Amino acid sequence: GVEAGTTAAWMARHRGMYERATRHPFTVSIRDGTVDLSAFRRWLGQDYMFVKEFVAFLASVLLKCCRQSDGSDMEIILGGLASLSDELSWFKKEAEKWSVNLAEVSPLKSNTEYCRFLQSFSEPEISYTVAITTFWIIETVYQDSFAFCIEEGNKTPPELLGTCQRWGSPEFKQYCQSLQRIADRCLAEAPADAARSAEEAFLRVLELEIGFWDMSSSRS
């Protein structure tokens, strides 16, 4: 139907937090062309580590999907998992381009905190509804953040456009929208306490994403 779902209501209710995550000074500086390249390199190394953990997270989402849902969601999640293989290769290539030695990168505090959150989803007690909603918002923060960097009027440095297009493309947006439809369907069917847990996870992701951008931009 055309009815706005639960996730859209949350985005409206938590607009301020959502914007702090998706219009963060770090990504806005990419769009402005004022980005500190050492900060970008720091983000690149940290995000490579994050994505490796994200593979395991997505595997746990897929497992919950197989256990608790019909077959139609599975193909979308499996597609997402498969594309992470490509993404890891992209990180390696990009790291070489920016002379970031991925073998030497160790996770900073905010990244460790985020990865610990992702690991908690391996608990079978966490529902598919909470997991798929979490997955959707994690992807959406990147989609929205990087789409802004390639929107009209951007001064994004040409050498960063590839990065922005990776998450800012119309294809990635469509993928996020299919995750959103799954999340909304699950939430519409979920008991109130599961929906409440999903909203908490939504907010936690926004907090962790803000922390991740802060970590990337701060010089320490």
CA 25 distance to own-chain centroid: 17
Q: How many residues does the chain have?
A: 220
Residues ≥6 apart with Cβ < 8 Å to 102:
45, 48, 91, 92, 95
Nearest distance from residue 189's CB to ligand HMH, in Å?
26
- By CB under 6 A, tell whether 138 contacts ligand HMH: yes
Q: 139 catalytic, yes or no?
A: no
Cα distances (angstroms) measured from residue 162 to each of 22, 50, 113, 171, 189: 18, 19, 28, 14, 39
Which 191-210 residues touch ligand HMH, going by CB under 6 A? 209
Task: For residue 86, give both structure tokens.
Answer: 């490509």
- By CB under 6 A, tell whether 139 contacts ligand HMH: yes
The one among 18, 117, 128, 212 contacting ligand HMH by CB under 6 A:
212
Q: Which is nearer to ligand HMH, 130 or 141 (CB)?
A: 141
Number of residues that bind ligand HMH (CB under 6 A): 10
Q: Do 184 and 60 contact (CB within 8 A), yes or no?
A: no
Which 14-73 residues touch ligand HMH, going by CB under 6 A? 47, 50-51, 54
Q: Which residues bind ligand HMH (CB under 6 A)?
A: 47, 50-51, 54, 138-139, 141-142, 209, 212
